[in-house]
Amino acid sequence: MMGISLDSSHYISTRGGIAPVDFADAVMMGLATDGGLLVPGSFPQVDASTLDGWRRLTYPELAFEVMRPFVGDSLPAETLRRLVQDSYATFDTPDVVPIRPLDNKSLFIAELYHGPTLAFKDVALQFLGNLFAELLRQRGGRLNILGATSGDTGSAAIHGVRGKAGIEIFILYPEGRVSPLQERQMATVPDANVHCIAIEGTFDDGQRVMKQVFNDLPFKEKNHLGAVNSVNWARILAQVVYYFWGAFRVQELSGSATPIQVCVPTGNFGDIFAGYVARRMGAPIARLLLATNENDILSRFFNTGTYAKGTVHPTLSPSMDIQVASNFERYLYYRLGEDAARTKAMMMEFEQNGSITLEDADPTFAAGRGDTASTLATIRKHYEQYGVLLDPHGAVGVTVAEANPLPGLKTLCLETAHPGKFPAAVEQALGDGTPARHESLEKLKKLPLRKALLQPTVPVIEEYIIQTLAGKA
């Protein structure tokens, strides 16, 4: 399409230590080899006539158009189109991400839970699983995926690559700190290429070990490690699509061409960073509203300018129980004017001191916090008044959205998981017998768990990977 520059298909590190790589190499590299995160050389700019054309596209058609300038020559157009079509054929609705009014006035909901694991991660990881398989088909070899999850990433990643030839997947998750159904969506998968590792610690411990293993470059290269966490650029790219889609649908439903606000419950900053990319490209988004639970490192940053680690607090929204947001470095890079040296220095300062401070506010973002009491109250209110059942993560977002309206603008709230994944939270809000169920989840309750329980240290995790792969030889 016209109005787009294609020089966004080469990738550099936020820390400036690698030569530019193309999209395929960026996907297979995952985490940059200098310890930074990969970002495109520029953001394509979408003009008004292109936006008007995009409004009329189906979700898979829109995904192809949004992704194409970032992919460049790494894949033929027909291959990318096929991967997108195959990825979203697994969803239970042709809309992929339905958009509907929440209160018939100013709030709308994006239902991001219509994929195989009933969570927003499916939107990216169905695509990434197919993309990995295609790149391995082209290049040959094997890929051993290592990921860390606070709940939904692990199951979505597993279901994206389960049974695929040439791929093994190792997923770290905190023992006792994901919901029972989230664990069952991972640890009951019978495919022999799936390896679940429950760690004795928090999600931050798992994420830290994962990054340390990736930074062990001899180990990474010898064992062909790849990443599925939102450190992988393809994850972010696939999520950019639903910001355009959601903004178009809200404008259509409200009969207004005015830009919208998007409220995003987030812990790792990946989902909302995708919204930042969409806005930079030209999506009709006036402001991004960040919502956290009690683990509020991100909302504190956008309200005070200080990014400081705290203690992880278990909550009703466990996928957001994070104190170190892995995608924050990408945002920091742009906030610092794409200065890789400053970005690296500030990240080193954060790693040493647990805190950094930036001057001046960014009007692109607002932020708020929804604690346990307000989350429960929001679930109760919207079920009783509107017949809408929210999951606890979506309820955090709606809580913050209702407290932070933009006068005259509609707000789209991202509902990131099906409420059936969190029946205990829903029952706490509404009482026993509430309809927080899903048939696919009920079937998991009788299946045996397959997992290893390990300490979150680099030697332990690396040895487990080595021994598991040796058994595959």
Check: CB of residue 243 under 8 Å from CB of residue 275. Answer: yes
Distance of alpha carbon 39 from alpha carbon 33, whole angstroms:
13
Check: CB of residue 299 under 8 Å from CB of residue 444. Answer: no
What's the gap between Cα 265 and its chain centre?
A: 11
User: Going by C-beta distance under 8 Å and a sequence separation of 6 or more, which residues neighbour residue 431?
Assistant: none
Residue in this structure with the two tokens 């400053």, named with its chain if needed: 342
Written as one string, the DSSP assignment of 127-156 is HHHHHHHHHHHHH-S-EEEEEE-SSHHHHH
Written as one string, the DSSP assignment of 205-260 is HHHHHHHHHHH-HHHHHHTTEEE-STTSHHHHHHHHHHHHHHHHHHHHHHT--S-E
Nearest of 229, 267, 239 to residue 31 by alpha carbon: 229
Distance of alpha carbon 17 from alpha carbon 31, whole angstroms:
12
Check: CB of residue 164 under 8 Å from CB of residue 132. Answer: yes
Is 121 designated active site?
yes
Three-state DSSP state, 34: coil
User: Going by C-beta distance under 8 Å and a sequence separation of 6 or more, which residues neighbour residue 215?
Assistant: 31, 35
Residue type, 51: L
Distance of alpha carbon 388 from alpha carbon 323, whole angstroms:
30
- Among residues 121, 211, 344, 421, the one annotated as catalytic is 121
What's the gap between Cα 396 and its chain centre?
A: 16
The encoded tokens of residue 235 equal 């994850």
What's the gap between Cα 436 and its chain centre?
A: 23
Distance of alpha carbon 404 from alpha carbon 290, whole angstroms:
10
Residue 355 forms beta bridges with which residues?
308
Pairing type for strands 167-174 and 143-148 reads parallel
Distance of alpha carbon 65 from alpha carbon 63, whole angstroms:
5
Residue in this structure with the two tokens 């990825």, named with its chain if needed: 87
Check: CB of residue 2 under 8 Å from CB of residue 47. Answer: yes
Largest CA distance in the chain: 62
Q: Where in the sequence numbering do the catalytic residues fall?
A: 121
